[in-house]
Amino acid sequence: MSPSAASAAVIASGSGEGPAPRHVAIIMDGNGRWAKRRHLPRVAGHKAGVDAVRKVTRAARAMGIEALTLYAFSSENWRRPEEEVSDLMGLLRLFIRSDLDELVRENVRLRVIGDYRRFSADIVRLVDDAIARTAANTGAILVIALNYGAHAELVAAAQRLATRAAAGDLDPAAIDAAAIEAELDTADLPPLDLVIRTSGEHRLSNFLLWQAAYAELLFVDTLWPDFDAAALADAVAAFGQRQRRYGGL
C-alpha cells in the first residue's frame, strides 16, 4: 500500500492494515526552526504550532483515536529564555480561552499531566476550569503535558508507594508494575500505542518513559507547524503496518 493510499484508508476507516492506535502521544518539536526558516521570530513558530494543535486534535477525533497526549511544556523548558517562556504561557492562555468551548461542544475530556500548578495563578485557574468543564464528557480524551517530566513522575510515584509502605499500608513485596502504573499521571488512560516526534529528532526527551516501553515510536522530519491531518493519517497508517510482539514471536 502506498503512503497516499494508506492515508486515504486511515481517514476513511481510522486504521491502517492493522488495529488503529487507541492512544497516541506527540512530541511537538520544530516551532523555532519553522520560524527561523521564514525569518520570523520564534513566537511566530509557536503561534503556528498552536494552529497545528487544533488541526491534529480535530483529525484525531475524526479518526476515532481515544486519547491524544501532547507534550506542550516540559519540566526542562523553564531553562529557555524568560521572554520565550512568557510567550508560551500567553499562547497557553489563548488556546484555553479560544478552544475550550469547542472541546465542551465536541464532548472532549481535557486532562493535564505534570505539575502545572507551578504556573502563574491565572493559568492554574484557567486549567482547573477547563478540566472541570469537560470532566463529565465521554468522548475523546485530550491530554496536555504541562511542566511534565517522566523522571519526576516516576520519582513521585515511588515516593507515594514508599510512604504507604512505611505506614504499614502496603507490603513492599506487593509493589509490582501494576502498582507503579496505578500511581502514574496516566493511570486511567488507555495504554500508549504510538509516540510521534516531529522535526527529525530521535529521542523521547523525558516524555512518558514508562508508558512508552512497548509503544511504537515514529520519528518524522516534518516540523510541528507543518504537521496536519494528512501527516497524522500517514503516522497511523504506518502504525497499522507494524507487528507488535511484546517480546513474543
Catalytic residue ranges: 29, 77
Distances (CA, A) of 238 to 67, 109, 135: 18, 27, 32
* First and final C-alpha spacing in the chain: 24
What single-letter amino acid sits at 17? E
Q: With contact defined as beta carbons under 8 Å apart, do 21 and 233 qualify?
A: no
What single-letter amino acid sits at 73? F
Characterise 9 by phi-psi region: left (phi > 0), alpha (psi -120 to 50), beta (else).
Answer: alpha
Quickly list DSSP for 16-73.
SSSPPPSEEEEE---HHHHHHHTT--HHHHHHHHHHHHHHHHHHHHHTT-SEEEEEEE
Instruction: Give the other-Cβ count within 10 Å of 6's Cβ.
Output: 19
* DSSP SS3 for 11: helix
